[in-house]
Structure formats: C-alpha cells, structure tokens
Amino acid sequence: MGKSATALGAALFVGALVLSGCTQKVGVSPPPSANDAGQTVTGFTTFPDLPMVSGGEIDVDKTLIFGAGETWFGRLVINSGNDSGQIFDFYRGSLPGFGWREITSVRAAASVLTYSREQRIATIQIQGRTLRGSEISITVSPREVPQDPAAAGAPLAPVQAVQ
C-alpha cells in the first residue's frame, strides 16, 4: 500500500502543477514614476488613469480590454493578496487623486464602488476569495450622453389620448 499511496501523491502533485498552468496571470506594478536621476521608470502603464494594487495579478482569462491609455474601456480583473476591506479603502482613498468622482459605494461582503471621470464610468467590485485575498473586477465604460430630441432637431412624437 505504500507504493500506491506514493504514486497517488505524485499523480496529484503533477495534476496540480498542470492545472495551475492553465490560468494566465500578469503581475501588476505601480504606474511609472521618476527615479532619483529624474528618469521615468517604466512600469505598468496600460491603465495610467487608475491606481493599481501593489502585488496584484491581472487575471488574463477574465480580463477584456478595448483601447489604451486613458481612453480604454472593458473589464479588468485583478487578484490580490490583500483582504477586501483593505482593497475597498485603497480604491476609495486613491481614485479621487486620479480625477475620479464618487457616485456611490456599498461596503459589504461583495463591495461595489462607482465613479465617474470625464465621459467614462468605472464600477469596481471587490469580493473576498475563498482561501486568501480578494478578486477586484473593474469595469470601465463610456458614459451615455443624453440628448434632448428637440435640441438635436428631431421631431417630437405626438401625444395621443387613450380612449
């Protein structure tokens, strides 16, 4: 029975290694900054309009981004070793420094923060993970610009009485 238990243990270990290679993750580092010599340090520049959690990893399988720079939109998913309360405080404290204005926030087991900046809306969902840390889902979309039909030159629909 000793050989079969060892073989089973080895098979489980190899299986875990294979499965762990199925998820792609990319490290997240702070935005670029100037070093002591005044040179720009290249860092994580794909999302220069958002603060990034130190030590977080982008979950490439769950992320879908369109555009680049400060005009991107889509869904960015980050896994962090920090608990959800720390992540909530980090984003709530950091986003105003990046020009985002809070619309609403709900702090709960699954927290949600909603912010606006220029012509975009960002919704940040923070969920604690089972073993440790948090999953952060940031969805950024263009803001709908309401148009007054009369101002746009479109005819107004006639109002009919119901009989």
% pLDDT > 70, the chain: 62
Say whether 107 sits in a helix, a strand or coil: coil
Q: CATH code for 43-144?
A: 3.30.310
Contact 80, 53 (CB under 8 A): yes
At residue 47, the pLDDT reads 87
Say how far apart CA 49 and CA 67 lie, in whole Å.
13
Q: For the chain, what is the total number of helices (H) and then of strands (E)?
A: 2, 10
One-character DSSP codes across 112-151: EEEEEETTEEEEEEEEE-SSSSEEEEEEEEEPP----TTT
Cα–Cα distance for residue pair 64/74, rounded to 1 Å:
6
Higher pLDDT residue, 10 or 136? 136
Calculate ∠ Cα 119-124-128, nearest 5°. Answer: 175
Report which of 142, 143, 124 is spatially closest to residue 134, judged by C-alpha positions.
124
pTM equals 0.65
Mean pLDDT across the chain, nearest whole number? 76
Provide the pLDDT for residue 71. 87
pLDDT score at 2: 55
* Chain segment 33-77, per-residue pLDDT in tens: 444 444 333 334 578 899 998 889 999 999 999 988 888 999 999
Name the band, by pLDDT with cuts 50, 70 and 90, for residue 8.
very low
Among 30, 91, 24, which Cα is nearest to 55's? 30
Domain boundaries, the chain: 43-144
Q: Does residue 96 carry a pLDDT above 90?
A: yes
Among 30-34, 42-46, 118-122, 156-160, the range scoring the smallest mean pLDDT is 30-34
Instruction: Answer yes or no: is pLDDT of 108 > 60.
Output: yes
